[in-house]
A and B are shown apart, each in its own frame.
Chain A
């Protein structure tokens, strides 16, 4: 990890009608870092991912990748520049095989389907789905679908990987495998921002954590310090109260 920033989000606001999902958010992601983005449900984490990946445009503010302003670039161009993401609710190409799903990702950097296929198989192997390559994506179990999302995103050879609640709904054993997989991705030098609702999963894994609440950055810093932060505890307790 260096101190050089790969992604800079500056004063980003996003409204949905009267609702402000992201309000004047500023944060930097350092190259090679594994950053946790946490916060209660509805805090605006997925919205921020959509803004970074280019799925939505911000109402105001700017987003820079490697120092270049990418605010006006569409999602497809941002993918080509090296931003890849998974969706909170997996979106596989259900009529295609697992392998073909990943080939779509691999075609970002390869023009021929044959080279893309080799790359896709290697990626499937890396995430532990190689044995399911020929299966129709629709037949995968929910945890396998999450792995497929990950493989597809990785096949685009990203610099920056945005993971939206990839651990949600996993059994403890699967979650442990997931953590190990994310470590291995990080070891490849890929910068990762991961959204996770459950603090217990992210905190031991990440280098740094950013806490969102009600669309604003509530706290950021080392995971140990963040979990002790009064306002963070309050936000999470408040969330628990609402949940019960």
Chain B
């Protein structure tokens, strides 16, 4: 016979110990962020600083991808579209109207989120691979449109003017360290957003949608609304990252912010590090992005596709050996995908 093993008080204490574990997770994250924030003290080499900035940026962008792809199970391979929107909105407002990039970041984010909702209506009726293929096609259409959009510089792109360094213009030509802290800040924000979503009703709904939509529906989960909400949050932060990138490199053109390579680079760190986990994207980015930069300096440029072949091989290797990602190799960083 099944006997009741827990008293009400015990139930409460198990529940509160889980809440305690989540508070501990926050402390652990703050400690990690503090350590990373101290890195510029020892890293003076400009090239290495650059690698760090890109690593943090891609960690944040992959974390944004992870919100929809990892937690809600909708594998987008077109997030370069939202990245491009952020980059273009921020650049056009700043270069054309001298509007501070801070506003551009927000506006680009909102625009991307709205577009994600609009595109979600048709796309989320597609399942699995069909959804992923649709995202690739839509992003390529976006790339083509921008290529032919004269007002946005068409194929020539947009050059940010050389001006005074400062926090209102987000221009730091002499010293790149502010970009390091901006990228870290972006990652910290996406981490906390993911963390709080994980512990909220949305987090449970999204994972239920990913694992089994039919069962989810029978438990009152609004499957379609879940996907739309996850897509909007994901697109918002992807566009903010795009705006940051534009300010960081100071020059954008369609291929340098909207190519398929970016869509892959948003998905791969999460897949490599541990899809649908809090730390997976960061771990994956810490491996992939420095590797990208090494390849870039040895193989010269990124146009030959060698890096993509290596990423593909790496992801296949991880998928075969450790389907849950690198994170599952050393569990010390996080408890994985469940709370």
Interface residues of B in 221-245 (CB under 8 A from A): 221-223
Instruction: Check if B6 sits within 8 Å of A79, measured CB to CB.
Output: no
Interface residues of B in 1-49 (CB under 8 A from A): 1-6, 8, 11-12, 14-15, 18-19
A195 to chain B, nearest CB (A): 15
The docked-state distance in angstroms from the alpha carbon of A85 to that of B214 is: 11
The docked-state distance in angstroms from the alpha carbon of A91 to that of B210 is: 12
Instruction: Check if A177 sits within 8 Å of B1, measured CB to CB.
Output: yes
B118 to chain A, nearest CB (A): 23
A185 to chain B, nearest CB (A): 12
CB of A45 closer than 8 Å to a CB of B: no
Instruction: Check if B204 sits within 8 Å of A55, measured CB to CB.
Output: no
B201-216 Cβ-contact flags toward A at 8 Å (1 or 0) = 1011101101110111
Instruction: Check if A100 sits within 8 Å of B207, measured CB to CB.
Output: yes
CB of A9 closer than 8 Å to a CB of B: no
Which chain A residues border B223 with CB–CB below 8 Å?
76
CB of A198 closer than 8 Å to a CB of B: no
The docked-state distance in angstroms from the alpha carbon of A94 to that of B208 is: 9
The docked-state distance in angstroms from the alpha carbon of A33 to that of B210 is: 35
Instruction: Check if A76 sits within 8 Å of B215, measured CB to CB.
Output: no
A64 to chain B, nearest CB (A): 20
Instruction: Check if B204 sits within 8 Å of A113, measured CB to CB.
Output: yes
Instruction: Check if B215 sits within 8 Å of A87, measured CB to CB.
Output: yes
A94-129 Cβ-contact flags toward B at 8 Å (1 or 0) = 111100100111011001111011100110011110
The docked-state distance in angstroms from the alpha carbon of A118 to that of B207 is: 20
Interface residues of B in 180-222 (CB under 8 A from A): 199-201, 203-205, 207-208, 210-212, 214-222
Which chain B residues border A118 with CB–CB below 8 Å?
11-12, 15
Instruction: Check if A117 sits within 8 Å of B5, measured CB to CB.
Output: no
Find the A residue at minimum CB distance from B18: A117
Instruction: Check if A180 sits within 8 Å of B4, measured CB to CB.
Output: no
Which chain A residues border B5 with CB–CB below 8 Å?
125, 130-131
CB of B281 closer than 8 Å to a CB of A: no
Given that A80-B220, A104-B219, A111-B201 are contacting pairs, would A94 and B15 also be in contact in the complex, using a CB cutoff of 8 Å? no
CB of A165 closer than 8 Å to a CB of B: no
Residue from A85, A112, A126, A131 in contact with B218 in the complex, judged by beta carbons closer than 8 Å: A85
Given that A94-B211, A95-B210, A122-B6 are contacting pairs, would A104 and B18 also be in contact in the complex, using a CB cutoff of 8 Å? no
Instruction: Check if B14 sits within 8 Å of A133, measured CB to CB.
Output: yes
Given that A125-B5, A156-B219, A180-B2 are contacting pairs, would A104 and B204 also be in contact in the complex, using a CB cutoff of 8 Å? yes
Which chain B residues border A53 with CB–CB below 8 Å?
218
Given that A55-B217, A96-B211 are contacting pairs, would A125 and B204 also be in contact in the complex, using a CB cutoff of 8 Å? no
Assign chain B's interface to a size class. Answer: 35 or more
Which chain B residues border A180 with CB–CB below 8 Å?
1-2
Find the B residue at minimum CB distance from A83: B218
CB of A181 closer than 8 Å to a CB of B: yes
Instruction: Check if B217 sits within 8 Å of A75, measured CB to CB.
Output: yes
Residue from B6, B214, B218 in contact with A125 in the complex, judged by beta carbons closer than 8 Å: B6
The docked-state distance in angstroms from the alpha carbon of A65 to that of B19 is: 38
Give the residue among B5, B6, B12, B220 with the most A Cβ atoms within 10 A. Answer: B220
The docked-state distance in angstroms from the alpha carbon of A39 to that of B266 is: 52
Residue from A96, A121, A136, A156 in contact with B220 in the complex, judged by beta carbons closer than 8 Å: A156
Which chain A residues border B164 with CB–CB below 8 Å?
none
CB of B256 closer than 8 Å to a CB of A: no
Find the B residue at minimum CB distance from A110: B201
Which chain A residues border B222 with CB–CB below 8 Å?
76
A54 to chain B, nearest CB (A): 8
Which chain A residues border B214 with CB–CB below 8 Å?
55, 87, 91
CB of B168 closer than 8 Å to a CB of A: no
CB of B276 closer than 8 Å to a CB of A: yes
Which chain B residues border A55 with CB–CB below 8 Å?
214, 217-218
CB of A93 closer than 8 Å to a CB of B: yes
CB of B339 closer than 8 Å to a CB of A: yes
- Which residues of B come within 8 Å of A, CB atoms? 1-6, 8, 11-12, 14-15, 18-19, 199-201, 203-205, 207-208, 210-212, 214-223, 276, 337-339
A-B contact pairs, 13 of them (CB 8 A): A55-B217, A79-B219, A87-B215, A92-B215, A93-B211, A95-B337, A96-B211, A97-B338, A113-B339, A121-B14, A125-B6, A128-B2, A181-B2
